[in-house]
Chains A and B, each alone.
Chain A
Amino acid sequence: MTIFLQTFVNALALGSLYGLIALGYTLVYGVLRFINFAHSDIFMIGAWISFTFTGWLGWSTGAPAYALPVILVLAMGFCALLAVAIEQIAYKPLRKAPRLNVLITAIGVSLFLQNTGVLKQVFGTQPQRMPSLVNDHVMFTLAGVGVQFVDVLVVLLAGALMLLLQWMVFRTRLGRAMRAVSFDERTASLMGINVNQVISITFGIGSALAAAAGLLYALKYGSLKQSADATWVLLGLKAFVAAVIGGIGNVRGAVAGGVLIGFLEMYGAAYLSPHLKDVYVFVVLIGVLLVKPSGLFGKAVVEKV
């Protein structure tokens, strides 16, 4: 029972992070019909830039209570601007090019970000420990399992950001514009929607969420591997799987997919074998693709002939 509950907490925290990252994949896919393979690197930069800002602000040893919101806003803002810049420089010129060209460009961007990150003027090759911005302690004990403050923080903050995004997509004018562009870009344009602007904002929002996930990841797990390390790519990839399982392009599906992947990985590791924890996720992906290729929450697209 203790293992079950402890795993539950871990799974929920990890799943929330996957969900946050998955939203970025799904949002960009929604408006551009393209998989942004550089998204996992934005997540990595979100974690590293949080570390960097913490150092610059002198909070490496002992941080004030307002440190977390400040770093959160800085990291989200930084990654949003970075993503908009990437979109303008790398993807926008390819708006009318075949999808494959954009996809390959995204892989190029991904490699560029990873390898720029290891430069000593940027983040360097040394792994780092993220200073604790919050006073982490056991908040409450549930059936013998101590629930850490940082786990609660991860789940609540991730949940709040997801709700904010939900509201934005389904209740605001910007969200209507995003859904209109997603449905039919040309018609949206003819109805006066500035499609390029909507695409830029979408990139920005998705990347801000990835940055938040990066900061939360750093807070929860502490150690930051160098930017070209495979850990980052693997985390990003699993978040991408979450988006696919939830039905790519579907905002709610991405969150559900993320949580599902988190549970799968954690319970698989706890009860089956921890060595295979990356395998479960991809096995389920294959299963979902075989049975319901449009994802659990996706709708099958009928090819027009």
Chain B
Amino acid sequence: MSTAVTSEPVLTAQHLSLAFGGLKAVADFSLTLRAGALAGLIGPNGAGKTTIFNLLTGVYQPDQGEIFLGKQRLNGLKPSARAKAGMARTFQNIRLFGELSVLDNVRTACGVRAKSGLVGALLRTPGWRAEERAITERSMDLLQTLGIAGRAHEQAKSLPYGDQRRLEIARALATEPKVLLLDEPVAGMNTQEKHAMRSMIQQIRVDFEVAVLLIEHDMGLVMEICDHITVLDHGTTIAAGVAADIQNDPAVIEAYLGAPDDAASEGADGVA
């Protein structure tokens, strides 16, 4: 378990709270991610994990609390501005631009960093052409990294499920993020695909120098690769720490993992 992340925090969430009407979706959530960190967010269904992603990316604004990316305060910023600042995500229920080609899905996200605008496009200036070419090359590289370059010109919605998940990650990386939020990256994958995805996530974290925060129900995966784990239940953080501490935390066992035997078997399943 690597704990050698001592650099400046890239993502700081402080005391985030959000209520939908009378329902406290998230209460007093705090988290710090340092560069190169790989952290996990776990909890039973409806615990508020995806809501936290929505708060971090600006889909929701928190009732209370603050979010910083590096030194930049993100509160009040729109999702697109946060993407520009360096926040990228994937979705639990895949949300690709299904009608666009695989390559165009990635190129669209590359637009975040593009300089030349409409005038350049209309006049087809050399600068614009060069930039378009660079975007296409970078997008192909990303598809290569994720192992789906061979399908670049297919419609995104025609990809098999596992490849769609990979494409979502490629698209998120195209925005050149500092923080990558992965919402259930191995959901619905078979053991072999899970293995591949696990090494891919670890690879991405190193190659792209991003801090990764992942939501995952696969305990084996989370326990194995995450440096730090936060456990949520009913919007409240009930435990936070390294895998070993979480596994032995009585509150977690009671609220989430159920009886200790179940925990052991679930862990074993995931690793297998």
Contact = CB atoms under 8 A, between A and B. Distances in A.
Contacts of A191: 83, 88, 108-109, 112, 171-172, 174-175
Contacts of B97: 179-180, 183-184, 187-188
Contacts of A195: 80
Interface stretch (B25-33, B98-106, B246-254): B98-106
B100 A173 contact: no
A176 B80 contact: no
Interface string B144-188: 000000000000000000000000000110110000000000000
Given A179-B99, A179-B100, A190-B89, A173 B79 contact: no
A27 to B, nearest CB: 15
Interface residues of A, number: 21
Nearest to A193: B80
Contacts of A193: 80, 108, 111-112
A176 B72 CA distance: 29
- If over half of B's interface residues share one DSSP class (helix, strand or loop), that class is named, otherwise mixed; here it is helix
A177 B99 contact: no
Contact of A173 (B84, B98, B132): B132
Nearest to A205: B118
Contacts of B111: 173, 176-177, 192-193
Given A179-B99, A183-B98, A189 B80 contact: yes
Nearest to A179: B100
Nearest to A195: B80
Contacts of B174: 191
B133 interface: no
Contacts, number: 80
Interface residues on B, range: 20 to 34
Interface string A78-98: 000000000000000000000
A299 to B, nearest CB: 9
- If over half of A's interface residues share one DSSP class (helix, strand or loop), that class is named, otherwise mixed; here it is helix
A193 B58 CA distance: 13
Contacts of B121: 168, 172-174
A180 B80 CA distance: 13
Interface in A154-210: 168, 172-174, 176-177, 179-180, 183-184, 186-195, 201
A180 B83 contact: no
B260 to A, nearest CB: 39
Top 9 closest A-B pairs, CB basis? A192-B112, A192-B83, A189-B79, A191-B109, A187-B95, A183-B97, A172-B121, A176-B108, A180-B108
Interface of A: 168, 172-174, 176-177, 179-180, 183-184, 186-195, 201
29 contacts: A168-B122, A172-B121, A173-B107, A173-B108, A173-B114, A174-B118, A176-B100, A176-B104, A176-B107, A176-B111, A179-B108, A180-B97, A180-B100, A183-B99, A184-B95, A184-B97, A186-B59, A186-B95, A189-B79, A190-B57, A190-B58, A190-B79, A190-B83, A191-B108, A191-B109, A191-B112, A191-B175, A192-B111, A193-B108
